[in-house]
Structures are given as C-alpha cells and as structure tokens.
Chains A and B, each alone.
Chain A
Amino acid sequence: MNFDLSDEQVLLREAARDAFSRVRTVEAAREALEGAALPDLWATAQQAGWTGLLLDEQHGGAALGAIDAMLVAAEAGRVLASVPLLGHLPATAIANAGAGGLDEGTLGKLASGELRAAYVPARPGDDVDPAWTTEPRSGRRRAPAPAVVRGDEGLATVSGSVAWVPDAVGADVLVAVGMEAGGPVAVALGASAEGVTVEPAGGVYDATRPLGHVTFDDACGRVLAAGEVELRRAWFLAHALIAAESLGAVEECLERSVAYAKERYTFGRAIGSYQAIKHALTEVLRRQENTRSLLYYAGWAYDSKPDEFAAAASAARAAGGAALDFAARELISVHGGIGATWEHDAPLFFRRAQVSRRLLGGTGDAVDRLAGELLTGAAAAA
C-alpha cells in the first residue's frame, strides 16, 4: 500500500506553486473586480506543460493522470489564479480518447496550448433520471443536452444551449457533449464557427472564474471518438478539478486564519487560545484533510478503479465545496468586521466559494450523485 503522492507528483505541485507565486494573483483578483484585466496565465500553463497534461505522448502531451491535474488545480485555487484549465483539461481528456476525430496537428496544438479548448459539459443521467442534461440559466429545471445530427466525413451539426460554461469565453475549440439517437457523443467545434455563440456570463461576482453561456444553432463540428464512458468520466473529472481548486483555497484560508488567531488578542489572550476559535479552525482542518483524502481516492480511481470514479469525484466535490464555504466564512469570522470588507482578501475567497459551489450542477447534485452511486451499487450487490 502506498496512498501518498509520488516524488514526481510532489515536484509537480512545488513547481506549480512556484510558478503561481511569480504573479500577484490575489491582488489581480481584487483589481479585476474593479475592471482591471487579469494577468494572462496561459503562457505559464504552456511553459509548465499543464496544457498537455492529459494528452498522450503521441499527441505531444505528458500522459499524466487526473491526480496530477488536480495538484495543479489546487495550486491555482490556493492563490485564486485565473488559468482556464477547468475548461481545457476535461476537453483534452475527451479529445484524447479513442482513435479518429481530431487530426494530429490539432491535438498537438491542444497539447502545446497553442489552441485552447473548453469543455461544454453535459450531465450524465443517473438512477433517478437517465437523460443527459445541461445547466439551465436559472432554476432547477435542467435542459436537454444539445442535439447532434451526424453528417458526412465525421462531421455533425449541433443544436442546443448550455449555460454557465467555465472558460468558454476566449476558447479556440469547444468540446461539446450532446445527444444523438444512439446516445451521448462529443463534437469539437471552432469557437468562431457559424452557429456558435459564446455570451460572457458572470465573472462579475468572481472575476477569476470566467463563465459563458454557449448556444449552438445548427453549428457544424467534428465528431470525436470518445464513447459514453469517457463522456461520463469528463463530467466527473471537472468535478474533481473544482474540488481540487477548493482544497488549495481552503489551505490558504486556514493558514491565514491560524496566523491571525495567534496575533490578535482579546481580554488579554490570543483569540486562538479560545476553544470557540480553536474548534472552528480544527473543523476547517478536518474538512481540508477529508477533501484531500477524497481527491486522492478520485485520482486513484480514475486510473485503477474506473467504476468508482463517479462516486469518488462526487464525494470530493461535496467535501471540497462545503469545506471552502466553511473555511471562507471562518476566515471572515476570525478576522471580525474587517474580514467582511474590501480591506481584506477574505471576500475574494468567499466569492470564489459561492460561485464554485454552484457550477456543473452544484455540490448538492454531487451529494445526490454519490448517494445514487452507492445505493445503486448496494442494490445490485444484494
């Protein structure tokens, strides 16, 4: 048994932390809310090789695993770095699957980051509702996944809309999951192709998390070889990446909270000596470590236990989303009134927590998915 990071993974994490430390990302997150442009970290991602992380070596990628992608996401989350990997990595995981679809030239450009992709997600059906669906702009009624009609020479047309798509704005290639008669299918479309509209949405509450509403109106793209298994996996990979970002942000919130609790005095003693504060911060730590364990589980399952990846990633998402919300609120509360003002960075972490928890079905859907996976598994075993 070895349930820990490898030396290479530790190096990857340190390198990511180092790369992000060269940019004042937290300050940038604040300034971006007042209209300043965000630093472009895509070149950083290209140089570090993160853009090709999930593509095979034959396509110019690094052929690493989900856990490696999560480690990079965690470091980005720690400093609220706006780097569009949440869109790019699941898209490249789909593009990498199977033979055919995109030509080697395009795959190579996705690996090098010369082309940036965004995953336009569809939620796989579950034991309650078997339909593949997408996010609505508002409310709980999920929309049907875009309709795909195959044409000649590996081409297809796509029609439908998907709201709140991470990193869609500014992407070169959209990897959309839609439905054809036989089941779910992925189509790669040029972002500027006829019939494709990407409308910026959000990024106002958390400027570091650009979102877009994507509409396809008989838009033409290339059918990818990925099958249903890979399309389900991409959805849960995105969940795991959001969870990983949350873990990094939780670690930062906890470090800052602990540091302040040691130096702020009331009634003649450091506030960290009071059980009320101490117990709340140990609860942040407990949730942080639980999230880490579940991310390791998800990373391990991605390669070694594919049947459990949906449950593992959903559990990680549920734990990470709740952990970041809790940690951000504690960060504010430990700092007193100032924590709720623009004088402090706490509101930036709070805003990240609120947006992240609602993406791709939200953490509530992840909780329900985990329940569904385990209950179905138990019923099958009985």
Chain B
Amino acid sequence: MDLNDTPEQAAYRAEVRAWLEQNAVHAPATRGRGDEQEAVAAHRAWQRRLAEAGYVGVTWPAEHGGQGKGPLHQVVVNQEIARAGVPGILDAIGVGMLGPTLIAHGSDEQKQRYLAPMLHGDEVWCQLFSEPAAGSDLAGIQTRARQEPDGSWRLSGQKVWTTNAQFAAYGLLLARTDPDAHKHKGLTMFVVPMDAEGVTIRPLRQISGEPEFNEVFFDDVKLAPDAAVGPVNGGWGVALTTLMFERLTIGAGSEGMGYRADRFAAAIASDPVAAKDPEVRARFGALATELLALRFTGYRLLTAISRGQIPGPEAGMGKITAVNGAIAAGDLIADVLGPEALDPDSEWSYLISFLPGLKSAGGTEEILRNTVGERVLGLPPEPRLDKGVPFSELRAKERQEVAS
C-alpha cells in the first residue's frame, strides 16, 4: 500500500505545482460577494490560462484539445489546485461531464464546433436534465421536443437545479421526443443555445440566500435539425454516459469533497474548553471516523480508477457519508461556537445552509440506497408500475389517480 506518486506522476505534480506557483497571482478569489459578471469574467480568464497550460481536459483525447492522460493525472491537477488555494475551472460540469458525453456520442461536426471553446471557457455549458417533477426518476421528464417537417425541432418545458445557466452559452438537454413509447425509449439529447428565443432563466435562491441554481423555461424554442446528440429516441443511453462521467468526476475529486476531519478539528481545537469536553469529543470522534473513512475510501476508488475501472454505484455511498458527516460537523461547530457560527460572514454559516440541499443533489440518499441495494447487493427491485407502459398512458393514469 502506497499513497506516493510514481516517478512519472511526481514529475507531473512538480510541473503543475511550479506552474501554479508562477500563475496563482492571476487566479480569482475562491469565494466572493462582489459583482457576479466581473467574477465570472475573471474565472473564465483563469480557465483559459489553465487550458493553455494543458491543465483542463487532462483526460480528453489530444485530437479534441485534451492531454490524453489518465484520470490520476486529473487527480494530481485537482490536488495541486486545492493545495495552491486557488479555484478550479469555471466550467467543471462541461469539461468533466458534458464534453466527454459529446466526445462519446456527438457527431464530428458537434465535436469540431463545441469542444475547443468549452475547454477554454469561452463557452460555458450547463446540464439540463432534472425537472420539477423528475429528479430521482429522471426518465420521467416531460420537456417535449417535436420535430417539424423541415427536420428542425420545437422545444417546450421546464428544467431546474441548473448550475451556471445564467452565463452558459449552451446546455445539454434531455427531452421527450416520443411520448407513446415506454418512458426510457422516447427520449433524445439536444444541444440548446441558451440565448435562443424562448429560453428564460430565473435564479433559484437557496437557504444560504445565494442563487446557485436556476430554473430554465423553454417556450417553443426552435432547434436546428442537427441539434440532437446521439440517436433520436436514444437519449437515455446518452444520459447514462453523462451520469457515468459524473461518478468519475466525483470519484476523482473524492478525497472528502473538501469535508476533511482536520478542517473541522481546527475550528473546535481553537476553543480549549470544547476540546476537552466529553460530549464534544464523542460527537467529533464519531463524525471524524466517518470523514476519515470517506478520505481513505476515496484512495481505494482512485486506485480502481487508475486501473481503468469505472466507479460503480457503490461510489454513491461516499456521497451519503460525506453529506451526513459534514452535516454532523456543521451542527457540532455551531453548538461549540454558538450563534456566531451562523453569521452570514462565517464559513460555517454557508456550510450549514448548503448541506440540506446537497442531500438531494446527484441522487437522494434514498435513491442511492435503492441503487446500491439492487446493483451491488443484488436485492430484488421494488415492484414498478411504469414498466412496459407508454409514457403518455402513464401520465394520464397519474393525473387520474391524483384527481380521485
């Protein structure tokens, strides 16, 4: 067992570290309350600088502007960025998940057109999958795309939880194209220009008061005939690719998701009375056990990734451990510090307000446990009432049941 770099990785790390030392002066602040447009512009410039140095899309193939390296190289870049105390790229969702989806399923023209500006941060992307009535049951989305006789598409519906939509150039959107097919069969993935007529973006403020998400409305938005990514009515397979890259992205950054036991220890240790209080110690020891387990499970995951394995659904358990461990930590720190912890300027205030939402993000705890129970433990699935039923009938039945 060895957490050290190979000589090749060590050399790469030294190179990244040296570059960051020289260039950190150009990095924007990690978190600020200033003007959003200025902050986005600064962050965009930072991504471009990283991209020009070859530190964005590290795992992307060289023909699409990437470095063609393995996921552990991406991990090295992530670790060094964290160590330098500078922000990562502006468009982690695009570069980490949506770009790789385009590489896997997009046409040559789409790859030519979209990948390079994405990599350099010139065009930011957002992910338009979840809807108000379809999150855990993603295949239940209702946003509708109808094809016109000339081959173009008309798009109507609503998406939600959309990070970065307010400054994104494009979105990758999952829409229903055949409502009479079974729910997984009638879906298609599209590229949507966010400045198209009929697209409305509204910020969604969270508990912290900050609008980190958006709702996006589509009112008869016209899409070109070549807007579909992958086969028409084959969108579910494309979406699964995105979700696989989501797991890989989370896996590659999974050394505790920033929720490290030592970070919380510092806050408690600053109060010598708290540090000797048996109740505080019992609670802190219990949550530190979870967060340490998370960190070292992350190393097991990275080992698997470095051997070319794609993290399976069991990686989702790390999210459950992370969120619940961090919730316990925020709660304990607020108990130790008192109301001061909830001051809007306190880092703990933001953490405490952010975590309840994270519980649902990327799959609710309940859905993750269903998936792990069925796919990892091999337990039988819950009986489903939506199997083999055309989506349109399913919806009609749902409405009827609610009405009765």
Cβ A282 vs Cβ B300 within 8 A: no
Cβ B370 vs Cβ A275 within 8 A: yes
CB proximity to A under 8 Å, residues B347-383: 366, 369-370, 372-374, 376-383
Cβ A262 vs Cβ B268 within 8 A: no
Cβ B379 vs Cβ A285 within 8 A: no
Cβ B379 vs Cβ A278 within 8 A: yes
| A218 lies within 8 A of chain B by Cβ | no
Cβ B297 vs Cβ A258 within 8 A: no
| B21 lies within 8 A of chain A by Cβ | no
Cβ B282 vs Cβ A1 within 8 A: no
Task: Report the bound CA distance from A273 to B296 in whole Å.
Answer: 31
B292, B317, B383: which contacts A273 (Cβ < 8 A)? B383
Cβ B265 vs Cβ A319 within 8 A: no
Cβ B299 vs Cβ A318 within 8 A: no
Cβ B269 vs Cβ A1 within 8 A: no
| A270 lies within 8 A of chain B by Cβ | yes
Return A116 CB to nearest CB of chain B, in Å: 29
CB proximity to B under 8 Å, residues A337-382: 364, 366-372, 374-379, 381-382
| A176 lies within 8 A of chain B by Cβ | no
List chain B residues, Cβ under 8 A from A297. 292, 296
Cβ B302 vs Cβ A367 within 8 A: no
Cβ A318 vs Cβ B266 within 8 A: no
| A83 lies within 8 A of chain B by Cβ | no
Dominant secondary structure at the A interface? helix
Task: Report the bound CA distance from A293 to B303 in whole Å.
Answer: 12
List chain A residues, Cβ under 8 A from B294. 290
A67, A270, A273, A282: which contacts B369 (Cβ < 8 A)? A282
CB proximity to A under 8 Å, residues B1-44: 1-5, 9
| A261 lies within 8 A of chain B by Cβ | yes
A127, A291, A376: which contacts B293 (Cβ < 8 A)? A291
List chain B residues, Cβ under 8 A from A311. 292
| B147 lies within 8 A of chain A by Cβ | no
CB proximity to A under 8 Å, residues B301-318: 302-304, 306, 314, 317
| B275 lies within 8 A of chain A by Cβ | yes
Question: Total A-B pairs in contact (CB under 8 Å)?
Answer: 184
| A42 lies within 8 A of chain B by Cβ | no
- The contact string, 1 if C-beta is below 8 Å from chain A, for chain B 253-280, is 0000000011001101110100110101
B285, B374, B379: which contacts A318 (Cβ < 8 A)? B285
Cβ B379 vs Cβ A315 within 8 A: no
Cβ B372 vs Cβ A262 within 8 A: no
Cβ B379 vs Cβ A375 within 8 A: no
Return B279 CB to nearest CB of chain A, in Å: 11
CB proximity to B under 8 Å, residues A297-342: 297, 299-300, 304, 311-312, 314-315, 318-319
| A181 lies within 8 A of chain B by Cβ | no
Indicate the size class of the contact surface on chain A.
Answer: 35 or more
Task: Report the bound CA distance from A283 to B373 in whole Å.
Answer: 9
- Nearest to A279 among chain B residues (CB) is B369
Cβ B265 vs Cβ A378 within 8 A: yes
List chain A residues, Cβ under 8 A from B265. 374-375, 377-378
CB proximity to A under 8 Å, residues B298-347: 299-300, 302-304, 306, 314, 317, 320-321
Task: Report the bound CA distance from A294 to B304 in whole Å.
Answer: 17
Return A152 CB to nearest CB of chain B, in Å: 43
Cβ A279 vs Cβ B366 within 8 A: yes
- Nearest to A320 among chain B residues (CB) is B289
B72, B281, B293, B314: which contacts A372 (Cβ < 8 A)? B281
CB proximity to B under 8 Å, residues A249-278: 254, 258, 261-262, 269-270, 272-275, 277-278
| A103 lies within 8 A of chain B by Cβ | no
Task: Report the bound CA distance from A285 to B1 in whole Å.
Answer: 23
Task: Report the bound CA distance from A366 to B285 in whole Å.
Answer: 8
Cβ B1 vs Cβ A382 within 8 A: no
Known interface pairs A1-B302, A278-B370, A382-B269; A128-B276 also in contact (CB < 8 Å): yes
| B290 lies within 8 A of chain A by Cβ | yes
Cβ B296 vs Cβ A296 within 8 A: yes
| A281 lies within 8 A of chain B by Cβ | yes
A127, A315, A375: which contacts B289 (Cβ < 8 A)? A315
Cβ A319 vs Cβ B289 within 8 A: yes
| A4 lies within 8 A of chain B by Cβ | yes
Indicate the size class of the contact surface on chain B.
Answer: 35 or more
List chain B residues, Cβ under 8 A from A366. 285
| B174 lies within 8 A of chain A by Cβ | no
Known interface pairs A278-B369, A370-B285; A3-B293 also in contact (CB < 8 Å): no
List chain B residues, Cβ under 8 A from A286. 317, 320-321
- Nearest to B281 among chain A residues (CB) is A371
A261, A275, A277: which contacts B366 (Cβ < 8 A)? A275
Pick the most buried of B72, B265, B304: most chain A CB atoms within 10 A of its CB.
B265
List chain A residues, Cβ under 8 A from B376. 282, 285
CB proximity to A under 8 Å, residues B229-270: 261-262, 265-266, 268-270
Task: Report the bound CA distance from A311 to B376 in whole Å.
Answer: 30
Task: Report the bound CA distance from A375 to B282 in whole Å.
Answer: 12
Cβ B380 vs Cβ A262 within 8 A: yes
Task: Report the bound CA distance from A128 to B272 in whole Å.
Answer: 11
Pick the most buried of B286, B294, B314: most chain A CB atoms within 10 A of its CB.
B286
| A58 lies within 8 A of chain B by Cβ | no
Task: Report the bound CA distance from A76 to B302 in whole Å.
Answer: 29
Return B63 CB to nearest CB of chain A, in Å: 28
Task: Report the bound CA distance from A277 to B370 in whole Å.
Answer: 10
| B46 lies within 8 A of chain A by Cβ | no
Cβ A378 vs Cβ B380 within 8 A: no
Cβ B293 vs Cβ A294 within 8 A: yes
Known interface pairs A367-B282, A378-B262, A382-B266; A282-B1 also in contact (CB < 8 Å): no
Known interface pairs A272-B379, A275-B366; A296-B373 also in contact (CB < 8 Å): no
Sample (10) of A-B pairs whose CB atoms are under 8 Å apart: A1-B72, A273-B381, A279-B373, A286-B317, A289-B314, A293-B300, A296-B300, A304-B2, A315-B293, A370-B288
Q: Beyond the given A278-B370, A289-B314, A381-B266, could you list 15 further A-B residue pairs with CB under 8 A, ordered by the A residue number?
A: A1-B4, A254-B377, A258-B378, A258-B379, A262-B379, A270-B379, A270-B380, A273-B382, A286-B320, A289-B317, A296-B300, A300-B1, A367-B282, A370-B288, A374-B261
Chain B positions near chain A (C-beta within 8 angstroms): 1-5, 9, 72, 261-262, 265-266, 268-270, 272, 275-276, 278, 280-282, 284-286, 288-290, 292-294, 296-297, 299-300, 302-304, 306, 314, 317, 320-321, 366, 369-370, 372-374, 376-383
Chain A positions near chain B (C-beta within 8 angstroms): 1-6, 67, 127-128, 254, 258, 261-262, 269-270, 272-275, 277-279, 281-283, 285-286, 289-291, 293-294, 296-297, 299-300, 304, 311-312, 314-315, 318-319, 364, 366-372, 374-379, 381-382
* Smallest CB-CB A-B distances: 10 pairs: A290-B293, A367-B285, A278-B373, A371-B285, A272-B379, A3-B299, A378-B265, A371-B281, A293-B296, A378-B269
